[in-house]
Amino acid sequence: TLALAAEAKGKSDFPRQYDINIEYGTAGFRSKAEHLDHILYRMGLLAALRSRVKGATVGVMITASHNPVADNGVKIIDPQGEMLEIRWETIASDLANIKDDELSSALLQIIKDESIDVTKPASVFFGRDTRPSSEHLSNAAVEGSKVFQAEVKDFGIVTTPMVHYFVAAHNSNNEYGDPTIDGYFEKLANAFRSFREEVVSERGPESGNYEPKIVADMANGVGGPMLKKMSELIKDLLTIELFNTGEGELNHESGADYVKVRQTLPKRVRIKAKDRCVSFDGDADRIVYYYQDQSVKFRLLDGDRIASLVAGYLKSLLDIMNIELNVGVVQTAYANGASTKYIKEVLKLKVACVPTGVKYLHHKAQEFDIGIYFEANGHGTVLFSKKTKVLVKAAREDKRLAGGKRSAARKMLTFIDMVNETTGDSISDLLIVETILHARGWSVEDWENCYTDLPNRQLKVTVQDRNVIKVIDAECNISEPEGLQDDFDRLISMFAEGRAFVRPSGTEDVVRVYAESNTQANADKLAVHIAKLVH
């Protein structure tokens, strides 16, 4: 009868008005907001079922991240704050695309296939971004969960990583933190403060080339109000000057994606040469750093830079503690070749390469004792295994150890508290980077001097059917159309330090092209030639 009630409500309140097929993609469903009513309602239903399967709270986030303001989307978050299990993505896609009068039978089929006891309690957390369509769509999803008698908690306008955090914290019986908005801010701010105190007590207030001030572009998204809240908690330690906090159009000429892809400053931001700047994306799960040098040249420090900064610093703490752990950095094919070389040859750490999409990086990073993953676009975090936490805690408590070792252990544990281990989080990543730069006494230029990026170019190509391209080797090569990879290889071999790949986008109807080479002109040329072969 629940399934019948769900179908009846769907027909009357959230009918499927457009006969388009939509898939649960890399980051959930994404589409024009007006196409999503029935999908949100159905995902509310599905989240209630997912919660029962797992016997735990799950999350639903309504956002289309860095996409234009007219788009929207939804994703389901699993109990430990991770992305929805891949097998359930298919279940979600199927449920999204059936006709209204097939809904009850489809729901019954899921209940049967997954042996779900619908009399068990269910609980779903909701969050949404600042898009005008988000409140309405969130309500549709809430209605869906309520039809299936789930207990619902709506956090309102929050960042995507905050919802991941709420879910994980709640399901850990608050061990991971308090599953509230205040709990989130306090956890991160307290860790940031303790770390600073540890460093200052060790070496005094001197901080070398580090300036405690940044300029922050919020893409007119949810990062605006949320980073403002954080900045008030730590204002004695870091001055944050906020721009694009909601007065303009979401993601328009601003934000992490704009800055990364165009390699240029966001609009409506006032900066001086060498100011350390950051951009968040619309739902605040990505961050990139940049500055303008004395010759007014734009300099980008992307996810690869953050990964190498974090990896290098954590390794230095482990070296002080004299603890051997399996530390690895997880990248995608988009990682700049110079960063991969630096991590392998200078830091002497392992590098793994996986396909694009947070779930692949996250999953791979779990294989390490300390797994650092970042996409070049600025999405990433650090994962610490149980073993790591136990060893470092033991070192902190071990009174026979030298003071320096115990201090390094305290720093590492405080650092872990500052990380949102559930997913990439602009606010947490910002605190991490600022902490390391301060501890190192580095300016943004000192940071950039670790290695020199290979010039690169990204292009998109519109083709009839982007899915005729089949990628292999973590998207570095293609297996279909037959012979095309050989053509690529011949071309690439003609460019010094040449590397290039193509892949169908998971979020847009285009094929993406990436190329790098020894000069910008060569990278551009290689990208254009590859694009022509794809056409």
Residue positions annotated with a catalytic role: 65
Kindly state whether residue 281 participates in binding Zn ion, applying the rule CB under 5 A: yes
Q: Which is nearer to ligand 16G, 50 or 196 (CB)?
A: 50
Would you state the structure tokens that stand for residue 484, as one six-digit string? 């095309």
512 sits near ligand 16G (criterion: CB under 6 A): yes
Known binding-site residues for substrate equal: 375-377, 503-507, 512
Contact between 331 and ligand 16G per CB under 6 A: no
Dihedral sign (CA 255, 258, 261, 267)? negative
Should residue 283 be labelled a site residue for Zn ion when binding is judged by CB under 5 A?
A: yes
Residue closer to Zn ion, measured from CB, 30 or 499: 30
**Annotated binding-site positions for Mg(2+):** 65, 281, 283, 285
Given 114, 241, 508, 524, the residue binding ligand 16G (CB under 6 A): 508
Question: For residues 357 and 455, which CB has a smaller minimum distance to Zn ion in the complex?
Answer: 357
Q: Where are the beta strands (DSSP E) in 78-196?
A: 123-128, 151-157
Q: Of 121, 125, 14, which Cα lies nearest the Cα of 60?
A: 125
SS3 of 331-363: the string is ECCCCCHHHHHHHHHHCCCEEEECCCCHHHHHH
What CA dihedral angle connects 429, 430, 431 and 434, to 10 degrees? 120
Q: Which strand ranges, in their side-by-side order, compose the sheet holding 151-157?
A: 29-32, 71-77, 58-62, 123-128, 151-157
| Contact string (CB under 6 A) for ligand 16G, positions 19-58, x = contact | -------xx-------------------------------
Q: With respect to ligand 16G, which residue has the nearer C-beta, 413 or 478?
A: 478
Which residues are annotated as part of the binding site? 65, 281, 283, 285, 375-377, 503-507, 512
Judged by CB under 6 A, the stretch of 11-19, 138-146, 372-380, 480-488 that binds ligand 16G is 372-380
The residue count for binding Zn ion (CB under 5 A) is: 4
Burial of 16 (0-12, 13-18, 19+ CB in 10 A): buried
Residue 287 C-beta: closest distance to Zn ion, Å: 10
Would you say 386 and 316 are in contact if contact means Cβ atoms under 8 Å apart?
no
Q: Cβ neighbours of residue 204 under 8 Å, at least 6 residues apart? A: none
* 385-429-319 Cα angle (round to 5): 50
Binding mask 373-412 for ligand 16G (x = CB under 6 A): --x-x-x---------------------------------
Phi, psi values for residue 85, rounded to 5°: -50, 140
257 binds Zn ion (CB under 5 A): no
Residues 51-90 close enough to bind Zn ion by CB under 5 A: 65
User: Interface mask (CB under 6 A) for ligand 16G, residues 346-365, using x and -?
Assistant: ----------xxx-------
| Residue position matching structure tokens 């399901």 | 171
Smaller CB distance to Zn ion: residue 280 or 384? 280
Q: How far apart are CA 375 and CA 66, in angstroms?
A: 15
Pick the closer one to ligand 16G by CB: 6 or 226: 226
Backbone angles phi, psi at 516, to 5 degrees: -135, 150
Give the C-alpha separation, 39 to 514, whole Å. Answer: 33
Residue 358: contacted member of Zn ion, ligand 16G, none (CB under 5 to 8 Å, by partner type): ligand 16G
Q: Which residues bind ligand 16G (CB under 6 A)?
A: 26-27, 65, 356-358, 375, 377, 379, 505-508, 512
Q: Which residues bind Zn ion (CB under 5 A)?
A: 65, 281, 283, 285
